[in-house]
Every structure is written in structure tokens, then in C-alpha cells.
């Protein structure tokens, strides 16, 4: 019988406590500390059952504040995701446009472009065109 009691104590005090510590998160630890502080504060002025009731109400208010914070974080995440998608579309558009340019088109763009000169049309009804006289030259009479 004492051996069974020792095994039971080992299971409860070591094995189950270690499993509890593995599942313990920072949020749960903070909640436990807040509840303990609230219970101790209310025990000084109120009976224990009312103190636990007030502590539970305060914890509910903390949960509501957490839900609001999560909702605000979700909106921030959605806005950041939309911005990332917009930037990705812009990058894909620029990549498609850049893919269409060949090396010869790029080098042609770098060369200085010359303006074509305006020359008179060499029709048969213009006698000065046959003589090689440019437009705007003074006429000799």
C-alpha cells in the first residue's frame, strides 16, 4: 500500500505537473496571476465567493479587450495583404513590359534620334524643284 501511495504522488506531483508546465502559455500564466491578485484584493473586503465572481467578471473584460485587439490586428493584416498584392501586381506588370523589350529595341532607344529634314516633293509641275532650288530662296527676275 505505501508503494501505491508513492506511485500516485509521483504521478500527480511530477508527471502531471510536468505535463501542465508543457501546456502552459504566457497568456495562461498572466491570466492566473491576474485572477490571483484580484481574488486576494477582493478577499480583504468581500466574502470569498463574491471575490471569485468579481475576478471572473474582470477576466471577462480582459477577454473582450483581447477580442477587440485581435479584430484590429486582423484589419491590419488584411490591409497589409492588400498592399502586398498590389505591389505584386505592379511588379508583374513591369516584368511583362520589360520582357517584351529585346536588346535591339533597348539599344535603339539609347541612340540619339535625328529629325527628318523637310524637303520639297519633286513633282513634275514644279519647275524650281527640277532646278534644285530650295524653298524660301529669293527669286531672281
Residue 132 pLDDT level (bands cut at 50, 70, 90): low
- Which residues touch 43 (CB under 8 Å, ≥6 apart)? 51
Residues 2-60 pLDDT 10s: 667 788 888 888 999 899 888 888 888 888 888 888 878 777 776 667 777 888 888 88
**Under 8 Å between Cβ of 51 and 39:** yes
Distances (CA, A) of 99 to 95, 96, 102, 103, 111: 6, 5, 8, 10, 21
Can you give the pLDDT at residue 124?
54
Can you give the pLDDT at residue 85?
95
Amino acid at each position: 500500500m505505501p508503494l501505491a501511495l508513492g506511485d500516485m504522488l509521483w504521478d500527480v506531483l511530477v508527471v502531471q505537473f510536468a505535463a501542465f508546465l508543457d501546456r502552459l502559455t504566457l497568456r495562461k500564466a498572466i491570466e492566473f496571476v491576474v485572477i490571483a491578485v484580484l481574488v486576494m484584493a477582493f478577499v480583504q473586503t468581500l466574502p470569498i465567493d463574491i471575490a471569485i465572481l468579481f475576478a471572473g467578471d474582470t477576466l471577462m473584460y480582459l477577454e473582450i479587450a483581447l477580442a477587440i485587439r485581435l479584430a484590429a490586428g486582423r484589419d491590419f493584416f488584411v490591409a497589409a495583404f492588400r498592399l502586398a498584392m498590389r505591389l505584386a501586381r505592379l511588379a508583374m506588370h513591369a516584368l511583362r513590359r520589360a520582357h517584351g523589350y529585346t536588346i535591339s529595341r533597348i539599344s535603339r532607344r539609347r541612340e540619339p534620334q535625328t529629325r527628318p529634314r523637310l524637303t520639297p516633293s519633286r513633282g513634275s509641275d514644279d519647275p524650281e524643284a527640277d532646278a534644285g532650288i530650295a524653298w524660301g530662296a529669293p527669286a531672281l527676275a
